[in-house]
Amino acid sequence: MPTFIDVHLKQGRATMKLKFLALPAVVAAVLATAACGSGSDTTTATTTDAAGHFGTVKVFDLPGSKTQPFGITTGKDGNLWITEALGNYVDKVSSQGKLLGRYAIPSAKANSQGISQGYDDRTWFTECAASKIAAITSDGKISEYPTPTPKSNPCALTRGPQNKMWFTSYDAAKLGSITSDGKIEEMDTPTAKSGPYQITQAPGGELWLGENAADKVASFSAPNSFDEFKLAHAKSDVAGIAVAADGTIWFAETDGNRIGKLVADSGAPGGRRLVEYPMPHSGDYPYGLLVGPDGDVWFSELGGDRIGQIDDKGQIREWSLPTGSAPRDITIGPDGNLWVALSGASGNDPKITGNNQPGIARFSLQGSGG
Model confidence over 17-50: pLDDT tens digits? 444 333 333 333 333 333 333 332 222 223 345 7
Per-residue confidence (pLDDT) for residue 352, from 0 to 100: 79
Handedness of CA 333, 337, 338, 342 (dihedral sign): negative
Could you report how far apart the first and last alpha carbons of the chain are, in Å? 23
- Chain Cα centroid distance, residue 164: 21
Structure confidence at residue 50 (pLDDT): 73
Residue 32 pLDDT: 33
Instruction: Round to whole Å and give the CA distance between 196 and 170.
Output: 5
Per-residue model confidence as pLDDT tens digits over 122-164: 999 999 999 999 999 999 999 999 999 999 999 999 999 999 9
pLDDT surpassing 50 at residue 1? no
Q: What percent of the chain has pLDDT over 90?
A: 78
183 pLDDT band, cuts 50/70/90, is very high
pLDDT at position 349, please? 67
Residue, of 22 and 336, whose pLDDT is higher: 336
317-332 pLDDT per residue, tens: 999 999 999 999 999 9
Q: Quickly count: other Cβ atoms within 10 Å of residue 24's Cβ.
A: 7
Q: How confident is the model at residue 347 (pLDDT cuts 50, 70, 90)?
A: low
pLDDT at res. 28: 34
Mean pLDDT of the chain: 87
Say if CB 90 and CB 358 are below 8 A apart: no
d(CA 149, CA 196): 15
What is the reported pLDDT for 10?
A: 34
State the pLDDT at residue 285: 96
For residue range 48-81, what is the model confidence (pLDDT) as tens digits?
457 889 999 999 999 999 999 999 999 999 999 9
Report residue 220 CA to chain centroid gap: 20
Cα–Cα distance for residue pair 122/222, rounded to 1 Å: 23
Distance CA 88, CA 75 (A): 19
CA distances from 80 to 10, 227, 360 (A): 25, 33, 10
C-alpha 298: how far from its chain's center?
Answer: 9
Mean pLDDT value of segment 355-364: 95
- 43-45-50-55 Cα dihedral, nearest 10 degrees: -50
Top-confidence residue, 224 or 185: 185
From the list 307, 308, 301, 261, the residue with the least C-alpha distance to 285 is 301
Q: What is residue 49's predicted lDDT score, i.e. its pLDDT? A: 56
In this prediction, residues 338-356 reach a mean pLDDT of: 83
Please write the tens of the pLDDT for every residue from 291-311.
998 888 999 999 999 999 999
Pairing of strands 238-243, 89-93: unpaired
Return the HEC string of the chain. CCCEEEEEEEECCEEEEEEEECCHHHHHHHHHHHHHCCCCHHHHHHCCCCCCCCCCEEEEECCCCCCCEEEEEECCCCCEEEEECCCCEEEEECCCCCEEEEEECCCCCCCEEEEEECCCCCEEEEECCCCEEEEECCCCCEEEEECCCCCCCEEEEEECHHHCEEEEECCCCEEEEECCCCCEEEEECCCCCCCEEEEEECCCCCEEEEECCCCEEEEEECCCEEEEEECCCCCCCEEEEEECCCCCEEEEECCCCEEEEEEECCCCHHHEEEEEEECCCCCCCEEEEEECCCCCEEEEECCCCEEEEECCCCCEEEEECCCCCCEEEEEECCCCCEEEEECCCCCCCCCCCCCCCCEEEEECCCCCCC
Q: What is the pTM of this model?
A: 0.86
pLDDT at 366: 86
Topology of domain 60-363, CATH: Methylamine Dehydrogenase; Chain H (2.130.10)
Is the preceding peptide bond at 203 cis, omega within 30 degrees of 0?
no
Residue 114 burial (CB count, 10 A): 25
221-261 pLDDT tens trace: 988 899 999 999 999 999 999 999 999 999 999 999 999 99
Residue type, 286: P
Amino acid at 257: N
